[in-house]
Amino acid sequence: MGRAIIDNSTLTAVQRLLGEIPIYNKHEIDGDILAFETLIQSILFFDEVCYVNDYKSAYRDKRNTYFSYLKQINIDDDSYKQLLIETSKFSDEIIPQIKDGLFVDSDFKPFFELLKMHNIFTWDMSSSVYYLTQKMLMDSKNELNIDKYSKINQMIFSELNDGFIKPSSDKHIILDSSGQPIRNVHRIYDKEGCIKEAHIGKQVELLMANLSWLAYRTIFYTIMAKETGGTLILHPIRNSFQINFLRKVYPQSTDVFRQLISSINMPAEKTIKSIFASTQPLITKFSLPMFSIVLTNKAGSPTEAINAAYQLKNEGDFVKARTMLAEIEEFFAEEKPQKAIISANKLVSQVEKLMKRICVRYGIATPQGISLSPIITFYNIGSLLTAGQLPSIPNYSGKIGILDKVKDMIPQKGFNAVYKSLINDLTQISQLGRYHEMLTSKVVYHKDADFYTAKVENEKYMHSKSSWKVPM
């Protein structure tokens, strides 16, 4: 494959795992391992890995030095401003909305549904004051992997670690059960029927700010990849949002996104057996061993695993894999869609055999077997648009002509994206045993570091009042 554009959120996660940035919430660690795996796979299966050089100005030089083995995408000020304007045209329409304790908007409701994450908001008492509080909803059978969803929730709350544009503090809509807006100070009736003062609270405000930043940067990178033709690799927590965003942009292509979602949710060892339409984008899924384990075990530390990845990528199987994957990209760049699909379909079966050989050769057995981290690629997303058609979201100008210099640096061959099976991968990571200790050997903890677990609400009591809780 050619060039990957990897987001800054992934790089920040890698720095946390490798001890450059202290960890405050220990639930962050497994998400950082997954981001590290994403970087390693990018090194192995792409000729070149790039990142947009727009990190916080105070830390930008340090980051560039730390990731000197990656290629920078430098955008001039005027072009960058235009890119932000285009991003805002989309993101300004995306507003988290809560009503009666649940997300109800068309952006974040499906985002959390794809993550299989059920949020509930209630007024909870703290120091004799009621605050609006986010919780995970547990079903009546008490079936909820709270550790897993605490990890996912922390990935969301880590979004603002990369924030360099202050999010609007009021970019959210919170309504009570009657549809009336809730401001910062609200009045509720407690269990005894007394009127009490209630506040939205910092936790919910932070959640809303992080969701807004997640949306903003996901859209920024999506437009960037569309304009340059690079293959986009987002932090895994952003995948679910991007899928729904693209689904809104291309509403006529629901079957395509249904297959993409299915490929993400299916077990790690399952691959896509067929391409179901001759004119639609190609979706591939190849099961791969967790190379972060393989290379850390070989090199002795996760820090040295990156050098080991650059050595491994020059071995025959990986050179051949990159060549074949690049050919798939070329089909869509040079041939008509129907012919490209036929040609790609023939090559995909060969790639699958090669990936299986790589998996057998390099897989390391854990107590639960070989840990897999599939790579899912969505090729030629631009084919969802017919000639001359523009996205249906209002006010999109369709083209940023001043990014032509970037396009020259990254030749355009269609817009592709790589996805991870977030929930499946987190399950794999939680079962690594001694390899988990090995991967986290460089982590540095904040002095107050701990497992800050998400709060839980049993659905049996979600509408009940107690001495310390009032439902919305």
* Residues 407 and 430 placed together within one structural domain of the fold: yes
H/E segment holding residue 351: helix 337-362
Q: Which of 23-32, 93-102, 279-288, 388-397 has the weakest average pLDDT? A: 388-397
Based on the domain organization, do 352 and 438 belong to the same domain?
Answer: yes
- The answer to pTM > 0.85 is yes
Pair 206, 113 in one domain: yes
Domain that holds residue 287: 3-90+214-446
253 and 376 together in one domain: yes
Assess whether 373 and 232 both reside in one domain: yes
Same domain, 138 and 238: no
Assess whether 319 and 406 both reside in one domain.
Answer: yes
Q: What is the pLDDT of residue 298?
A: 92
Query: Which pairs count as long-range contacts for 402-407, CB under 8 Å and 24+ apart, including other chains?
Result: 402/76, 402/78, 402/79, 402/82, 403/75, 403/79, 403/82, 403/83, 403/227, 403/228, 405/76, 405/79, 406/73, 406/75, 406/79, 406/227, 406/228, 407/227, 407/228, 407/229
Dist CA 121 CA 201 (whole Å): 12
Element (H, E) at 320: helix 316-334
Please check whether residues 166 and 178 belong to one and the same domain. Answer: yes
Domain count along the chain: 2
Rounded Cα distance, 403 and 83, in Å: 9
Compute the mean pLDDT over every residue in the chain, rounded to the nearest whole number.
85
Same domain? 389 vs 284: yes
115 and 21 together in one domain: no
Query: Which pairing describes strands 469-471 and 119-126: parallel, antiparallel, or unpaired?
Result: antiparallel
* Cα separation, 397 vs 392, whole angstroms: 11
Confidence of residue 378 (pLDDT cuts 50, 70, 90): confident
**pLDDT at 402 (0 to 100):** 44
- E-strand ranges in 330-386 read 365-366, 369-370, 375-379
> Do residues 59 and 128 share a domain?
no
Q: What is the pLDDT of residues 113-150, one digit of tens each?
A: 999 999 999 999 999 999 999 999 988 676 678 999 99
Instruction: Check whether residue 206 and residue 305 sit in a common domain.
Output: no
Q: pLDDT tier at 372 (50, 70, 90 boundaries)? A: confident
Give residue 450's pLDDT.
Answer: 96
